[in-house]
Chains A and B, each alone.
Chain A
Amino acid sequence: MIQPLTRPRRKNPVLRTPHPLLPPGGRSRAALGLTAAAAIGRFELQVCAECGAVQYPPSEVCRRCLVGALRWREQSGLGELLSETAVHVSHDPFFRERVPWRLGLVRLDAGPTAVVHLHSGCEPPPSRVRVGARLDKSGQGVLLAFPLHEVPNMADDPELREMTAHPKYRRALVTDGKTPVGQALVRALIGAGAELVWVGHAEPWKQQPGLAELEALPQTALVPLDVTDSRSVKQAAAEIGGKVDILVNNAEVHRTHGIGSRSGIEPARAEMDVNYFGLLRLAQEFGPVMRARGADGTASAAAWVNILSIYALVNYPPHGSFSASKAAALSLSQCLRAEMRPGGIRVINVFPGPIDDEWNQTLPPPKLAPAALAKSVVRALEDGIEDIYPGDVAEEWLARYLESPKTLERELGL
């Protein structure tokens, strides 16, 4: 039985906002493989290419055969909960604020025994559990044991909630929220239980289909916000910056040019101004206050989402300057991720394939529907995933990219 999360009370402005603390984040290089997999929503352990042994904790050698190369491979996570405890006295300030903290010792069916965070839906030992990997607030991969079957209020488990950015009872800002993708994001956030969603709009005179209905929802509020205008960003941050728990940066300019198809740099400059400098302006104004609110109760500031593009990984020449602006945004986002980490704020990069909109008109299907994109963003928030690649095209590009970035470059450049 999991206690459902209660709606946080209105904050007393006189009370001090707790300083965000992080769980211990130090790891060996070998252990970062767990983090890398958890960042894309996978639970992987080292498997020996020689003898097949699955090992945990991670190490640089296979401790069975001492020879084989170790590869990270996805695991089912099924195992037996052998023992459990609840820590009441912790040596770490982060956990001291959060005790009692339930832990388990699980014998994985794959072989190793693992110390895990224990979801409150798990039956006492001996019982069957499913271990998954999540990023904790320090941004490092950790193991968490779940009950085998879904239980009510699963996401409200206090340990799990520390590792995710679930929208429930949180307040979100969607920049450029009037676009089809923006509207889909707003609706998906509300559907996931967001308390309030601010819909940023740069051009108040512009009406978009569906906007009136969206505006009529009690959980939405329009807010003027032009990411190309530093003053506008500053003003919006002054008004709502201290309340935004989830920021979804959806503002985007997308033109279909390479280098030679058009003279001059104006379209490319416009792309950079929104896609790159827009992110920078937002990050400078909204970043610090969000970071400071990383431990502000059960609905603390939790995540920053950048809608990038799969073209950020490798340039797609027909949309060459757009690809370049997204690559710049990706690089900046990695910087933002490092700077937000002390607050425990998850920076989520979304790498969609072609979205089914006017700028991808000439591209063949499959194209990503805005609602599908929004759904995967919400899933990333709910699971605390750091990088997502929604859509079949993005998944295929990613697979090709992971196998050989150079090959993909040639494939796209032909």
Chain B
Amino acid sequence: MAKSRKTSRKSALRTGAPRTDQRRKSPSRRSAAGPRPKRGATPRRVREAVVAAPVTVPYVRYSIRNAHWFVARALAQLLKESGLRKPQIDGLSVGSFGLSPDTAIGLTQHLGVTVCWLDHVPLGGACGIVALRRALRAVEAGDAEVVACIGADTNHVDSFRQSLSSFSVFARDAVFPYGSGGPNASFAFLTSYYMRTFGARREDFGKICIAQRDNALGYRHALFKKKLTLEEYLNARPIADPIRLFDCVMPCAGAEGFLVMTRERARALGLPFVRVRSTCERHNAFPDDPIQIRGGWVLDRDRLYGEAGIEPPDLDFVETYDDYPVMSVIQLEDLGFCAKGEGPEFVRRHSFTTDGSFPMNTSGGQLSVGQAGCAAGFLGLVEAIRQLTDRNLARPVPEARFGLAVGFGMITYDRGLCSGAAVLGRADA
């Protein structure tokens, strides 16, 4: 367990906080999540579900294929990666915005699969975490043996604009008619407010973008393959003040996926796997906040780390949901790496590169890889699985044992409604 880990390991995230867990002694920090389960006292789950076979259907800026095609390509890769045959997949979870008028059920016929467990999770940036949670429960309950979790979307030339105007009733009634700036305008409000309130500078966000681009240079599927300089970042084309071009993700087409199965099954198949130490999910947290400066993680982080049996400093890397750099900073605060408002200072202290002091978005994140609709909700999770199973496509984080993947998404009006996170550990951690 994490407590027994040597504190001198170089690869651990250096958050500046001492590794001894002072928070555990402070009962007030626990109130929101209720009492923490006693470590070791709870019997380990009888059937433990694990995650294996991370796959990526390479991203393209535009595709003439539909979302169904990308789901199918991901499923084919999952079969190839695992050596399983189609009939052996008895659970399917799909996150996609672009299937309309189909949902997951229509896909079973498109893909020619017969399953006894089916889920449709069109939750954007949170769909990977939510799909994972549900699939774990299904396998552990014995409702399914092997669940294929896939996030996929396509991107035609005009599909992003069309999806904006029909994204939600509130978006159509009360956001899109106001300048039609899409998420850029919504996050411009949050970024501007955050900068004013907590003293963040454009350079702080630039540092994150640049570090992620460095990470992306080692990841072959990233759409952005050129180094980014601070000057380029600061002087980029203005999009929605204070957001400029390199604060924004590139909408594209692609897919990500993984398999959830029992530990025994993964071993029998000879598949490298990771153990899911804990997960959390929260929707429409803090509805009375006038403007979003925090997400549901604040309510769930104590339970998240409690169940995982580790603390933030034990994590070796973090995959934030980086649709905009300000969201990465908010996630670092809300997930306990620093206090609210200390994000900018935290950013100034760390390098965020894979080989640096706080490896973050180790494949480059959406900011450099691209945002393939709902696949973006899987991107960090799939990269974390790769890091912890030594199946890296990006540069490996040295000696990584624990990783955190974060989900965030669904601005249906003025704020992202979904938040989630998963603490993943190596099979032997």
Contacts and interface: CB of A to CB of B under 8 A. Distances in A.
B179 A101 contact: yes
A57 interface: yes
Contacts of A28: 169, 172-173
A31 B174 contact: yes
B198 interface: no
A86 B179 CA distance: 9
Interface stretch (A107-115, A344-352, A375-383, A403-411): A107-115
A407 B291 CA distance: 47
Interface in A92-106: 92, 94-95, 99-101, 103, 105
A283 interface: no
Interface string B282-323: 000000001100000000000000000000000000000000
Given A103-B185, A105-B189, A57 B173 contact: yes
A114 B179 contact: no
Q: Which of A24, A85, A90, A116 has the most CB of B within 10 A?
A: A85
Interface in B249-303: 290-291
A24 B180 contact: yes
B6 interface: no
A403 to B, nearest CB: 28
Nearest to B161: A91
A304 B238 CA distance: 38
Contacts of B174: 31, 56-58, 114-115
B190 interface: yes
Interface in B167-197: 169-170, 172-182, 184-186, 188-190, 192-193, 196
Nearest to B287: A63
Contacts of B164: 91
B181 A27 contact: no
Contact of B178 (A27, A56, A116): A116
B234 interface: no
Contacts of A23: 177, 180
Contacts of B291: 82-83, 105, 107, 113
B424 to A, nearest CB: 35
Contacts of B177: 23-25, 136, 138, 140, 142
Given A57-B413, A113-B291, A116-B178, A86 B173 contact: no
Interface string A1-33: 000000000000000000000011111101100
A24 B241 CA distance: 22
Contact of B182 (A91, A114, A115): A91
Contact of A87 (B161, B193, B237, B240): B240
Nearest to A93: B180
Contacts of B169: 28, 57, 59
B354 to A, nearest CB: 31
Contacts of A87: 179-181, 184-185, 188, 239-240
A71 interface: no
Given A57-B413, A83-B192, A83-B291, A103 B181 contact: yes
Nearest to B244: A88
A83 B179 contact: no
A235 B23 CA distance: 85
Contacts of B193: 82-83, 105, 125
Contacts of A142: 177-178
Contact of B180 (A31, A92, A125): A92
B173 A89 contact: no
A356 interface: no
Nearest to B413: A57
Interface string A29-45: 01100000000000000
Interface residues of A, number: 42
A84 B193 CA distance: 8
Interface residues of B, number: 37
A88 B291 CA distance: 22
B179 A90 contact: yes
A205 B164 CA distance: 60
B192 A117 contact: no
Contacts of B241: 84-86, 88, 100
Nearest to A88: B238
B153 interface: no
Contacts of B184: 87, 89
Interface in B213-243: 237-243
A117 B184 CA distance: 16
A136 B173 CA distance: 13
B189 A82 contact: yes
Contact of B189 (A56, A80, A84, A91): A84
Contacts of B413: 57
Interface string B136-161: 00000000000000000000000011
Interface in A196-237: none
Given A28-B169, A91-B182, A103-B179, A82 B240 contact: no
Contacts of A107: 290-291
B140 to A, nearest CB: 34
Contact of B173 (A27, A85, A103, A117): A27
A26 B165 contact: yes
A85 B185 contact: yes
Given A83-B190, A113-B290, A95 B173 contact: no
A44 to B, nearest CB: 15
A95 B189 contact: no
Interface string B378-416: 000000000000000000000000000000000001100
Given A87-B239, A89-B184, 14 more contacts: A82-B291, A85-B181, A85-B192, A85-B242, A92-B161, A92-B179, A95-B180, A95-B181, A99-B179, A103-B178, A105-B193, A105-B414, A107-B290, A117-B179
Interface of A: 23-28, 30-31, 56-59, 80, 82-92, 94-95, 99-101, 103, 105, 107, 113-117, 125, 136, 138, 140, 142
13 contacts: A23-B177, A23-B180, A24-B165, A24-B172, A83-B188, A83-B190, A86-B240, A91-B181, A94-B180, A95-B180, A99-B179, A107-B291, A117-B178
Leading 8 A-B pairs by shortest Cβ distance: A92-B180, A85-B188, A57-B174, A31-B173, A87-B181, A87-B179, A83-B189, A83-B193
